[in-house]
A and B are shown apart, each in its own frame.
Chain A
């Protein structure tokens, strides 16, 4: 048997990124690597990204994680999408669903027919009511999707809302059982080879040096290896995404345990609401240049629904990414590589994308430039497209009620986004990509939700006679409603499937 060399991997930092990386490596490349994770309990984890995207299910599946057990232990709820409230105008509410509009069949996208009816002045229900995912969400129901593509209840996917502070320990147990080694300690120095510049070892407070062939930097914002030791420059995107602070405060759930996350626009940013089984996560994301910390905390306390479970906690960050995520023998994963605010729940997705690319381009001791460049190309693509997607939420608004909204409404945006917006405005078309985390329906939901309304529509949507189309749409509308109404209540479904473990 041809055996590859065994690569010794040092993962710097626990937390979600660190333990996701460690568990994936030991599970999927057991013959090819050893994993040694260094973390310090004295350093807290950021634990953002309690709300996820449907891709997480593929990750869990690869790791052989049982869904019900995982949900029970991380006190998870189901998630069908994200509700955006007050974004284009105060009083607006739309859902970005993890699913398609219409029946998901047919030659052209359903929203083209809907646009045609709007252009003809025919009275049809809002687009959201033609999304099975949105309707289930609005009714606070949930059931697992069907696998029969003919059925309306196959037109959606789902993700989880879970306690990020419980996810890392869950993965840690799995990784350690599979042979990952863990060392507790704070890193005080990083030693590099004088000639190659590669990292040779990290030194702990105790004086112990941990050596390795490949270092995965999961140290969070501090970016201990990639940023500090190797000095990889940071591409600053704060002119487009100016938020640099979040204040988080969990509270008791007083209203519904919704099968969706909410992002509620505030005077100088937005507020998240993430219902878990045992509590609701809240936080206010804002730019410190527009809002003082104490005012943000006060606004958050005033806005949350139930008694706070903990006091307000502040996080500082900057939007952007390192020029390259993989430099020498250091791969940055998660916040050490870049940060995008959690508006579209992409933090864990970006960790997963980096891990997937690392697995597919897993190196030997001598790392090839081809692999490194390909990794960076793949990761950059993900960051850049998500960046554009996030900017839409701010740029495409009619709000002029505060200094903050005036700034984002009038700011310049990247050329890549100008083109996408123009194309949608003309006749509701979405630039198609094979890669990238958001599919057409996501862009459509957000454009329309942000009141970017196309002047025209796809000519093919003109084919059916108006009254026949109106009839078909009325039938579909009714069927979608009935499909949603047949589903069990969200909390009831959780109780029967994955009630939270009492001793987690």
Chain B
């Protein structure tokens, strides 16, 4: 057996939101012989990984590794699909753009597609960048289809995320975890008791007077990080780059034909979103309290959503814990990284942390080199997410003071490097632990009008008119295929019927 008597056998998960139950289920299911006990303290309002319904495509991979079927995790849990996000008003002089999870164009000649597009854009001869993305076009038309066909065919090169029905999804994950044998201890956490010798967590004292010991403690309790913060408080703030520090939520009845495209609209001091599903339409407003009062924000959201605001403003303190894993305690989700939900990465980072724990499970001594490698990856991943979110502000173009300030802040060095390389010649450097693909970066950069100063010499073997024709052909192919696809709503209805049978 692994490491003999030193193997981790008893694991405690704290936190009863989606993050906590997902962690408990995955660790129980994917690591053999592990006893998993969860203390399902209710997630606080600011645990965004537990509270934001829009997810990235990686959730489907997470389900597959867990052994969850689409029938359970999508249909019966009342989820619908997301192909991407439509960004409106982020660069005021430009039309809205779509960030979809898929290919933008196909490479031709010896170079990547976007280099051809940039050359055309510099001649003012380019159609919108997102008009070369099948997924964006499908989403925009209110249609949906799961990816299919051979690699290279128009319907093969994209992915989709989910729009969760949070309550039902949480229940489903809890039921599944219980089914797998996760033990539940329903009590509050009164004290985190540390071992004198090495500062490891010895046990949790619960508010029913009992104690719960374990070899490893997984903290999914939200930004307060009830367990992990008992070990050290070190936190790296991102507030200077991600200036929004408040969130308001609202809900309205579902639209008759909800699309697989949510919208994110820039506002005077932040942004708001609208995301549809078969059950409801979710709304949110993310703003900077330095630039907008809470009552103004509530009024703004109410007007946009046509419905009252749910609950009060939720604080967001953007940043990450310096070492998410310290001694025998690992922070997951908002306990490790807190950030505004722009681009819907909160739950994704939680899933990624869970996967990483599964694949890097150390011995009980939580050896320094293994934790070093875990933290190196987790920190890099969080920083790359920070960069992608910061990008939206750094290349925004709006007149309001909030936006002017956001665009003038010196970006983190890694993002500054990306921007300078991209502005120079359309090149994107490769970093470790990147969540978003190159096409995602391009969708935002080009969508917000960052046109490189030079065209890349590698495309010169293809004359511009030939490239123009190839691009036009791609758009025609997309335009021909989109009307043949079912609407998102029809697709969902059909799927439910199929699984109901």
Contact = CB atoms under 8 A, between A and B. Distances in A.
B421 A370 contact: yes
A360 B429 CA distance: 11
Interface stretch (A208-216, A343-351, A404-412, A457-465): A457-465
A31 B461 contact: yes
B193 interface: no
B463 A1 contact: yes
Nearest to A120: B1
Contacts of B32: 459-460, 462-463
B369 A462 contact: no
Interface string A341-363: 00000000000000000011110
Interface string A446-463: 000000000111111011
Q: Classify chain B's interface size.
A: 35 or more
Interface string B100-124: 0000000000100000000100110
A407 B32 CA distance: 44
Contacts of A423: 369-370, 373
Contacts of B421: 370, 374
A32 interface: yes
B1 A462 contact: yes
Contact of A360 (B8, B122, B363, B427): B427
Contacts of A33: 457
B460 A4 contact: yes
B364 to A, nearest CB: 11
B372 A426 contact: no
Contacts of A435: 430
Interface string B373-411: 100010000000000000000000000000000000000
B123 A2 contact: yes
A364 B456 CA distance: 10
B460 A426 contact: no
B361 interface: yes
A360 B31 CA distance: 43
A28 B110 CA distance: 8
A417 to B, nearest CB: 12
A116 B4 CA distance: 12
Q: Is the interface of A mostly helix, strand, loop or mixed?
A: loop
A111 B8 CA distance: 21
Interface string A431-450: 11111000000000000000
A2 B458 contact: no
Contacts of A4: 454-455, 457, 460
A29 interface: yes
A459 B359 CA distance: 8
Interface string B430-464: 11100000000000000000000011111011011
Contacts of A30: 460-461
A433 B458 contact: no
A28 B458 contact: yes
Contact of A426 (B8, B370, B420): B370
Contacts of A364: 454
A456 B363 contact: yes
Interface in B333-358: 358
A177 interface: no
Given A426-B370, A431-B373, A460 B358 contact: yes
Contacts of A371: 424-425
A33 B420 CA distance: 24
B427 A361 contact: yes
A324 interface: no
A463 to B, nearest CB: 4
A113 B49 CA distance: 34
Contacts of A362: 456-458
Contacts of B430: 434-435
A29 B3 contact: no
B427 A456 contact: no
A32 B454 CA distance: 13
Contact of B457 (A1, A29, A459): A29
Interface of A: 1-2, 4, 28-33, 62, 107-108, 116, 119-120, 359-362, 364, 368, 370-371, 374, 419, 422-423, 426-427, 429, 431-435, 455-460, 462-463
Given A108-B359, A370-B424, 7 more contacts: A2-B119, A32-B457, A62-B110, A434-B432, A435-B430, A460-B31, A462-B2
28 contacts: A2-B123, A2-B455, A4-B455, A29-B460, A30-B460, A119-B1, A359-B458, A361-B425, A361-B427, A362-B458, A371-B424, A374-B421, A419-B373, A422-B369, A423-B370, A426-B362, A427-B370, A429-B360, A429-B370, A429-B373, A433-B432, A435-B430, A455-B3, A459-B31, A460-B30, A460-B359, A462-B2, A463-B32
